[in-house]
Chain A
Amino acid sequence: MKEKLEILLLDDEAIVGNRLGPAIKKAGCNVEVFEDPQKALNRINEKEFDVVVTDIMMADVNGIQVLEEVRKKSDKTKVIIITGYATVALAREAMDKGAFDIIAKPFRPKDFLAVIAKAADSLGYKREIVAAA
């Protein structure tokens, strides 16, 4: 088992990457941050990530499409959706298409990390991911 969890974070809001990136690193995972969905998809084709975190409402490529692409590529990758436009329909669609979890914006960094921890758990990692105190 790899030492560190490999995470890809995709959100067209720069600040999300700027803030969550360091937080994830601090919690003991590797993270690659993307703002451009196309570039992120290219990267996903190159490397298999443990966890992919993506927004839904982005220009050009929709987060659901990203979800589908990731699931096509790998069954094992846990996809976490973060979105400001959460509705019952969207949530069910995402779950239907294989998302691991959905968290609505706004959220606190520690709530986010809790979800990452759940994902790590389900992948068999020991619970090392703790939010900075």
Chain B
Amino acid sequence: MYKKNIFQKKLVSTTADNGLLERPQFSFRLHISLVFIFFSLFSMAIIVGSVIAINRIQKKLHFVQASERYLFEIEQARRSEKNYFLYGTNLENAVQNASNAKSILSQNLQKIVTVLSAEQTETIVVHLDRYRSLLQELMVLEKNGIDSSAKKSKIENSLRKYGAEMVKVAAALVDKEQDSMNAMLHLIQRIPIYSLVVVLLIGLFVARFLVQRLIKPLKYLVECTHRIATGDFSPIKPIRKYRDEFTTVEVAINRMLEQLKSHEAAMVESHKLRAVGTLTAGVAHELNNPLNNIMLTAHTMLEDYKDLSEDELLEMVNDLINEADRSRSIVRNLLDFARESESISEPLDLGALVNDTIKLALNQVKVSGAKIETQIQPDLPRTRGDGQQLKQVFLNLILNALVTFKSSGIVTKPLKSQC
């Protein structure tokens, strides 16, 4: 069955199709699919982008928070350190804070490396460790009760140095991270607006394209059908550079036009044949009368020629001839009508034409029992026209009128001139 389909498709393609079908195919469906895919991808991109962005912000937030905690711990450590040097207390607090800071630092070491360079990170670690070891030294001194102000002030200087450095770096880190996060938030805020604008623009653009794709070919099709309705059966020609679903319609219409063209000729012929057929039956019946007359006359002559006078015989021979002539004119009327001739426009005596047509349909008239009354204006001017076609029109009028006719009426055919 598969083979048969291909075969059929091949058979059916014609030269009119070729123009339409030779173009590259860009179907409507494809176009819409592309648009749809584009928008889907676009939305997905936005969604994925948003998800990623939010994820990143989350991470950033955590990091900022960690950095702030680190800074806090460091600052607390310094405060405790200052308190110790002022009041001799909070050394353990300082150590604790520093230890907290160390743990925070350790936990976020990898992240810090991504923000600051490896060296800088190394520096922070080193500083913090130094700071801590200095605090440890103090702790040891305290524990052992050594009260050496020279050592203490040395340590204090170092502490101060490293401490300030650490705070500075930590604060800078925090600031940097906060800035970075703000920037990210800004970006994320702007993206929806940008995408909205982009979508609107592209949407308008695409919509306009699509509409063109629909409206233009539809208009073209409507034009074509108008032209076809006026009787022009020439095929639809391609006007776009690609083909799509509308092409299928156009190809189908072209095929239909071919059929119509070949049927038109057949229909015109069949109409005429039908009229000829109807008339022929009538003519055959009408001929029976002159034939009968000939039959009777000839038989009478055959049987009685010895007894008939010359005059009588002569009369009969003349009858034979007259009846034969009569038959001829009955038949000729039909033949003339049926003969196909080129359409010629000539000046016509319409009155005579009408009467001729009525003669043609005489049998039908008699059979239906109708009476035809003609009112023909006496001085009707000659009109230009095609006698054959007019006769056919008149004939159809008469035959149709007779069909819907009851046997006791009158069909009047007034013929007046009209300006």
Contacts and interface: CB of A to CB of B under 8 A. Distances in A.
A and B associate in one complex: yes
A19 B369 contact: no
Contact of A15 (B323, B367, B369): B323
Nearest to B291: A106
B366 A84 contact: no
A76 B243 CA distance: 87
A132 B289 CA distance: 23
Interface residues of B, number: 22
A62 B294 CA distance: 24
Contact of B295 (A23, A62, A106, A132): A106
B319 A106 contact: no
A13 B293 contact: yes
B292 A22 contact: no
Interface in B296-327: 296-297, 299-300, 303-304, 319, 323
Interface in B260-306: 285-289, 291-297, 299-300, 303-304
Interface string B168-201: 0000000000000000000000000000000000
B300 A106 contact: no
Interface string A34-59: 00000000000000000000000100
A16 B296 contact: yes
Nearest to B285: A85
Contact of B296 (A19, A57, A84, A104): A19
B300 A84 contact: no
A20 B369 contact: no
A108 interface: yes
A23 B295 CA distance: 13
A107 B292 contact: yes
Contacts of A62: 369
Contacts of A109: 296, 299-300, 303
Q: DSSP class of B's interface residues: helix, strand, loop or mixed?
A: helix
Contact of B289 (A19, A84, A110): A84
B295 A108 contact: yes
B407 to A, nearest CB: 9
B32 to A, nearest CB: 66
Given A15-B319, A105-B291, A85 B367 contact: yes
B288 A19 contact: no
B299 A108 contact: yes
Given A15-B293, A106-B295, A107-B295, A85 B300 contact: no
Interface in A1-24: 13, 15-16, 18-20, 22-23
A132 B304 contact: yes
A44 B285 CA distance: 28
Contacts of B366: 57, 85
B296 A15 contact: yes
Contacts of B367: 57, 85
Interface string A95-114: 00000000011111110000
Interface in A110-131: 110
Interface string B323-335: 1000000000000
B300 A16 contact: no
A23 B296 CA distance: 10
Contacts of B287: 84
A133 B302 CA distance: 10
A37 B286 CA distance: 19
7 contacts: A13-B289, A15-B296, A16-B293, A22-B304, A85-B367, A109-B303, A110-B299
Given A84-B286, A84-B287, A85-B288, 10 more contacts: A15-B293, A15-B296, A15-B297, A16-B296, A19-B299, A57-B366, A85-B367, A104-B288, A106-B291, A109-B303
Interface of A: 13, 15-16, 18-20, 22-23, 57, 62, 84-85, 104-110, 132-133
